[in-house]
């Protein structure tokens, strides 16, 4: 029976995560498996990988063949390097102490790279949030300036209207004060068309 270390898909559409499993190569992708070794979630940055290191190494030593993706995962977690160093110890090319020293140095370097990447991602995220915040502040300032200009224009119109009303009221008051001092014009006597009566008798 050919045994493979591969991924079994889980999760919803367009947001999948995977179980790292040991399964018969003839079994369906998401079907029956022999053992679950961990979880791989590519939706995070960097990707989240939880792996049972010792069990994965044991299955590799037993001859299980990883797929291309799981091989990259095992390499990322150092399982393939550990297998290679163990092979060097068996051949006598390395002592267990030297192999362990090399492995620990690799782990330290890997942790440094991961932390550097995380710090870079956090910095990029912080810079993006700052730029978005500054853009929002600029938009708010522009809107505030527009509102202030509109209010100033409305205040100027209101002041002009008030000044016009005050001028009209003052003019009306002045006309009212001047009107009584002028004497009224004399009215002409009415003209009658009747002729005078003749009192003398003929």
16 and 65 within one domain: yes
Q: Which domain holds residue 114?
A: 109-172
Q: Is the dihedral of CA 191, 194, 198, 202 positive or negative?
A: positive
Helix (H, G, I), strand (E, B) or coil at 18: strand
With beta carbons less than 8 A apart as the criterion, state whether 32 and 23 touch: yes
The tokens for 77 are 């977690």
Same domain, 15 and 47: yes
User: Residue 162: CA atoms inside 13 Å, Cβ hemisphere, count?
Assistant: 6
How many independent structural domains does the chain possess? 2
Higher pLDDT, 176 or 187: 176
Would you state the torsion angle of the CA atoms of residues 80, 81, 85, 90, taken in this order, to the nearest 10 degrees?
0
**What is the DSSP code string of 59-116?**
HHHTTPEE-HHHHHHHHHHTHHHHHHHHHHHHHTSS-HHHHHHHHHHHHHHHHHHHHH
For residue 16, give the CATH number of its domain.
Answer: 3.30.1320.10
Q: Are 63 and 7 in a shared domain?
A: yes
11 domain residue, yes or no: yes
pLDDT tens by residue, 83-102:
999 999 988 888 999 999 99
Query: Which tens digits make up the pLDDT trace of 27-81?
Result: 887 788 999 999 999 998 888 999 999 999 999 999 999 999 999 999 999 999 9
Q: Is residue 88 domain-shared with residue 120, that is, in the same domain?
A: no
Q: Is residue 199 part of a domain?
A: no
Classify residue 157 by burial, with Cβ atoms within 10 Å: 0-12, 13-18, 19+: exposed
What average pLDDT does range 121-147 have in this prediction?
Answer: 86
| Judgement on whether residues 15 and 85 belong to the same structural domain of the protein | yes
Q: Give me the pLDDT at residue 193, please.
A: 53
Q: Is residue 30 part of a domain?
A: yes
108 vs 106: CA distance, rounded Å: 5
Residue 83 sits in the same domain as residue 117: no
């Amino acid at each position: 029976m050919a045994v493979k270390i591969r991924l079994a898909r889980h999760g919803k559409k367009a947001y999948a995560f995977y179980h790292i499993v040991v399964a018969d190569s003839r079994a369906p992708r998401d079907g029956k498996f022999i053992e679950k070794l961990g979880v791989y979630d590519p939706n995070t940055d960097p990707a989240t990988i939880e792996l049972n290191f010792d069990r994965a190494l044991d299955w590799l030593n037993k001859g299980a063949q990883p797929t291309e993706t799981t091989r990259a995962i095992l390499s990322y977690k150092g399982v393939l390097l550990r297998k290679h160093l163990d092979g060097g110890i068996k051949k006598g090319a390395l002592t267990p102490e030297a192999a362990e020293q090399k492995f620990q140095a690799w782990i330290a370097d890997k942790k440094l790279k991961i932390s550097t990447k995380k710090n870079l991602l956090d910095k990029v995220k912080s810079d993006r949030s700052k730029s978005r915040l500054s853009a929002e502040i600029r938009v708010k300032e522009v809107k505030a300036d527009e509102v202030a200009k509109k209010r100033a224009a409305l205040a100027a119109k209101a002041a002009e209207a008030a000044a016009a009303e005050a001028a009209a009221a003052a003019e009306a008051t002045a006309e009212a004060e001047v009107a009584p001092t002028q004497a009224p014009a004399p009215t002409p006597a009415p003209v009658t068309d009747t002729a005078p009566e003749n009192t003398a008798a003929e």
